[in-house]
Each structure stands twice: as structure tokens, then as C-alpha cells.
Amino acid sequence: MRIATWNVNSITARLPRLLAWLESSGTDVLCIQETKCAAEQFPVEELRALGYESAVNATGRWNGVALVSRVGLADVVTGLPGGPEYEGVQEPRAVSATCGPVRVWSVYVPNGREVTHEHYAYKLRWLEALKAAVAEDAAGERPFAVLGDYNIAPTDEDVWDIGVFEGATHVTEPERAALAGLREAGLADVVPRPLKYDHPFTYWDYRALGFPKNKGMRIDLVYGNKPFAEAVSDSYVDREERKGKGASDHAPVVVDLDV
């Protein structure tokens, strides 16, 4: 079984590449972030034509997450139970479902913007709510994972130059402590380092030749419980999908399971 996560940075802009990638990669379940569309604009029919069911949590031009599966889609939960609001709204940042033998979440953790910004405090509250929401599934015997754009680099080695990020979000101790909280809940990073590259980054800024110069970050993560981790047979970052015209600024992260 092949499961992946991909921040597509607008599913409308990325649809031809997304459909082609699903066909060529053999992915069974894909967790999508930053759909940047309303739910009714999500390409349900185009994906159904390829054999995928869709579960969508999206409300407009910002944020938005989805799960697409060709191995079943059941017990869908839209949103983060107990999650905080930002400016009076619970943003569309989580969706979960059971896909065959595995239960998965697709999450788009708030960016945080700046350490002094209210969005940063919101990010920490959101992560605390995520820890509470996944605890029961994480402790279960069924393979379970939370995949997505976490907007956190777990270690200094997960950014191209830690000196550039001094005082910035994505690398602060409170953010990393919140990520460690998921480990306390029974989840662990199941994508080993290094992979096929010395620096298996998943995101590169469009600006300043970020991708050609490999000025990247590893912020798209797969956190699974013990049954999920024990089933992992392979994993990789599909850097090829970051190349060329019309690419997202994130690459897919792919995990193969023996289930």
C-alpha cells in the first residue's frame, strides 16, 4: 500500500500534474494540503475517473485539505475536534478517514508567520489540540498516521542553513516541543534520514533559485503509530515533482506499507 502527502499550493493550478502523478506513482492514498479552493470546486469527478474517492475540508481561496483514496474512504471526520479558532473561524486544516486497513489524517498546520504574531500562538494551540485529538487512534492497534505540512523543521539539519532562520518561525523551541508532544502521544517520524539525498528537503521557496540551489526545508512529515511504523517498507521524497514549469513549491513525500 502506498500513501503520500503533498502540499499542492492550489489544486486548480496543479491539477494536470496531480492527475498525472497519481497515475504514474501508483499511490493508493494521498493527503493533500493547500487546496486553495471551495469544497464545491474540488475536482471530485476528475479524481473519480481515476478510481479515487475524495474527502474534502475546504472553504475558499486559503488553506484547505483533502484525502483521496482508491482503497476505500470511511468514517470521515472533517476538521480538528476541539481545535482553536483564528479570527473567529475554525480554519479548514484537517480531515481524517479510514482507508482500507489504515486510518490517516491530512493536516495543514498553521504557518505561525512571526514569533510575535498572534498566528504563532494560534499555531501552538492548534498543535496542542491535534495531540489531544489523535491520542486514541495513536494508541490503537490499527496502523494510524498523521501526514501533512507541519510547518516545522524537526531539527537544525532539516533546514538548508539554520543561521538564516535565527529568530524565525518553523525552528523555534516551542514549535519543536509541540511536535515532540505527538511523540508523547505515541506517534513517531517514520521517514528516516538520510533518504536518497543528503538533505531530503520537502519544500523550496520559489524565490532566489531556492530549488536549484537546494535551499530547502523538511517540513512535510509523516508521523505514525507503532503498527504503522512497523509496516513501513520504503519511503522517499519525490524531488522530480518539484521540477519544471507549474510545480508546487513542495514535493510529495511517499511511504510504502506492507499491510
The number of beta carbons lying within 10 Å of the beta carbon of residue 206 is: 11
Cβ-contact 3, 104 below 8 angstroms? yes
Report whether 7 belongs to an annotated binding site.
Answer: yes
Q: Which of 28, 122, 137, 149 is catalytic?
A: 149
Report whether 34 belongs to an annotated binding site.
Answer: yes
Cell numbers representing residue 52 in the block: 479515487
DSSP secondary structure string for all residues of 146-180: EEEE-S--SSGGGBS-GGGGTT-TTS-HHHHHHHH
Q: Which of 108, 122, 150, 203 is catalytic?
A: 108
**β-strand 2-7 against 253-257: which pairing, if any?**
antiparallel
Question: Is the sign of the CA dihedral 207, 216, 201, 178 positive or negative?
Answer: negative
Report whether 249 belongs to an annotated binding site.
Answer: yes
Report whether 151 belongs to an annotated binding site.
Answer: yes
Looking up cell 510529495 gives 252
Is there a catalytic annotation at residue 28? no
Report whether 149 belongs to an annotated binding site.
Answer: yes
Which uninterrupted H or E stretch holds 254?
A: strand 253-257
Which neighbouring-strand residues pair with 30?
4, 68
Is there a catalytic annotation at residue 161? no
Half-sphere exposure of 258 (CA within 13 A, CB side): 5
Is there a catalytic annotation at residue 149? yes
Report whether 198 belongs to an annotated binding site.
Answer: no
Cβ-contact 222, 237 below 8 angstroms? no
Report, as residue numbers or ranges, the catalytic residues. Answer: 108, 149, 250
Which residues are annotated as part of the binding site? 7, 34, 149, 151, 249-250
